[in-house]
């Protein structure tokens, strides 16, 4: 039972790839480095933060973040430096400005267009039967009744 509890504790704990030699001595700086590392994407793994990735490039980025923090940079200055060096795709949550704004709005816009087209199709389809019957002249209606009665 104790082994199961220990296993559950280990599995429930967040897993980070940060090596012991990377950890800063100052707990406040280390906390800032961890917060920044969770916002940066591993360029090798693509859907992991550099804090979670074991890739060598992620380790280099973690060291770079810590180096900039130890040099006295603010968090925003560190992020600007990393983005300037590696591009905006290094951010796990890119900012909704410029060309990214088009990408952020494209999904909801396509959904609204699809819903509108679907509703329009359903309305035309439901109203199509009544419109065809109303378009028949009296002679055509009489001929239709004669055909159906036979």
pLDDT in tens, the chain (150 residues): 666 555 444 444 445 566 666 777 788 888 898 899 899 998 888 788 888 888 888 888 999 999 999 898 899 999 999 999 988 888 888 777 777 788 888 899 999 999 999 999 999 888 765 555 567 888 988 998 999 987
Claim: this prediction has a pTM higher than 0.85:
no
Q: Are 66 and 32 in contact (CB under 8 A)?
A: no
146 Cβ contact list (under 8 Å, min separation 6): none
Q: Which of 56, 16, 22 is nearest to 38 (CA)?
A: 16
DSSP annotation string for 16-58: ----TTT--SSHHHHHHHHHHHTTBB-TTTSSSBTTT--SHHH
């Amino acid at each position: 039972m104790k082994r199961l509890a220990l296993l559950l504790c280990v599995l429930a704990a967040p897993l980070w790839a940060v090596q012991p030699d990377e950890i800063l001595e100052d707990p406040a700086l280390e906390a800032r480095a961890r917060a920044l590392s969770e916002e940066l994407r591993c360029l090798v793994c693509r859907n992991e933060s550099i804090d979670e990735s074991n890739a060598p490039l992620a380790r280099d980025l973690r060291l770079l973040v810590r180096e900039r923090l130890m040099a006295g940079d603010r968090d925003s200055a560190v992020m600007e430096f990393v983005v300037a060096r590696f591009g905006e795709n290094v951010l796990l949550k890119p900012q909704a400005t410029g060309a990214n704004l088009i990408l952020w709005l494209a999904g909801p816009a396509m959904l609204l267009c699809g819903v509108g087209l679907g509703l329009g199709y359903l309305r035309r389809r439901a109203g199509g039967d009544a419109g065809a019957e109303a378009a028949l002249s009296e002679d055509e209606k009489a001929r239709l009744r004669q055909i159906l009665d036979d």
